[in-house]
Amino acid sequence: MASLATNANSALTTAMVVDKSNFEAVIARELPVLYRVALRLCLNPTVAEDVVGLTLVRAVGAWDRFDGQYERSWLLTILRREYLAHIRRASSSELSLDSFTQDGVEIPSGDTNATDKIDLERALAALDDIDRTLIILSDIEEMGAKEISEITGIYPATVRTRIFRARQRLRRILLSFGENL
Amino acid sequence: MSSQHDCCSHMTRFLHDEAEAKTPWLISKYVQAHVARCTPCRKTLESLRRLLTGLKEFRQTPIPDDAKDRLMNGKWRGALTDDADTKGN
């Protein structure tokens, strides 16, 4: 009986070690995506790091319940929730374009390509939360409609239409910057 | 694009799909034939392609090494250890 209990305990310990290493491996693999998405959403590297940090804490707490499929979507769903919680807490000034251009990106001078990129960064930052999320997931991270639907909670059949509209708004903002689109 | 090149409304979805290179062969041929004779749609397609190319470049944004170190050794690691200890006991 004692032997059975020891074996069961040993199996449990082995399972936990596997889980632990899996989680670490998943995080190591997905961290660049999480950070990139958080940076574009939060518009500030410090805030982005906080949001990713909170995401990882929530994720480890929910790791037992994770079904093991589509880890990126699962993590990004948590990240988006943390981001929304953050914007509820944060003052609007923290999310201003000024803070983005001061802290978020370094603006080189005299480089047309870089200037275009900065305009695109600024236009993306000027979109509302949901449009920005759609563009980030669809056009930067190249995720499919099904995954985007899971992350954002938008009805799958309307995801593509919402993406088209978000792109239209992004182009409109770029035009207002004088971008030759 | 006047403001948005005012593409033909029935072409919107096709143009976005074509810009993403997601259109099936036959529809792609149709889009190409259409944009060859429709300037607003051609300009919209070119504009969308430039936009998507620019956005894809953002995928190159690296995570700074110091942020990566902090995040890989953040609070979650403690939670993982605590969880394992609790279950182990």
Q: Which residues of A16-41 are buried (b: 16+ CB within 10 A; e: fewer)?
A: beebbeebeebbeebbebbbbbbbbb
Cβ-contact A128, A106 below 8 angstroms: no
Touching A: B residues 32-71, CB under 8 Å: 47-48, 50-52, 54-59, 61-64, 67-68, 70-71
The closest CB to that of B54, out of A56, A116, A164, belongs to: A116
Q: Residue A101 phi/psi, 5° resolution?
A: -70, -25
Q: Which residues of B17-54 are buried (b: 16+ CB within 10 A; e: fewer)?
A: bbbeeebeeeeeeebeebbeebebbbbbbbbbebbbeb
CB contact under 8 A, B68 and A31: yes
Nearest CA in chain B to A28: B72
Q: Using pLDDT thresholds of 50, 70 and 90, give the confidence band for residue A45.
A: very high
- What pLDDT is attached to residue A67? 81
Among B8, B76, B89, the residue to mutate for chain A (most A Cβ within 10 A)? B76
Q: Is B12 on the interface with A (CB under 8 A)?
A: yes
- Please state, for a pLDDT cut of 70, what percent of chain A lies above it: 73
Which residue has 């889980």 as its token pair?
Answer: A19
- What pLDDT is attached to residue B83? 58
Total residue length of chain A: 181
Show residues of chain B in contact with A142, CB under 8 Å.
56, 59
Distances (CA, A) of A69 to A60, A72, A133: 15, 9, 22
- What pLDDT is attached to residue B74? 85
Which residue has 């029935």 as its token pair?
Answer: B10
- What pLDDT is attached to residue A119? 87
Among B51, B86, B89, the residue to mutate for chain A (most A Cβ within 10 A)? B51
ipTM tops 0.85:
no
Please give the Cα distance from A138 to A32 (Å, whole number).
Answer: 16
The full DSSP string for A81-140 is HHHHHHHHHS-GGGGSHHHIIIII----SS-HHHHHHHHHHHHHHHS-HHHHHHHIIIII
Q: Using pLDDT thresholds of 50, 70 and 90, give the confidence band for residue B75.
A: confident
Please give the Cα distance from A171 to A123 (Å, whole number).
Answer: 8
Please give the Cα distance from A122 to A148 (Å, whole number).
Answer: 23
pTM of this structure: 0.78
Per-residue pLDDT tens over the stretch A79-128 = 999 999 988 887 544 544 444 444 444 433 445 566 678 889 999 999 99
Please give the Cα distance from A83 to A129 (Å, whole number).
Answer: 10
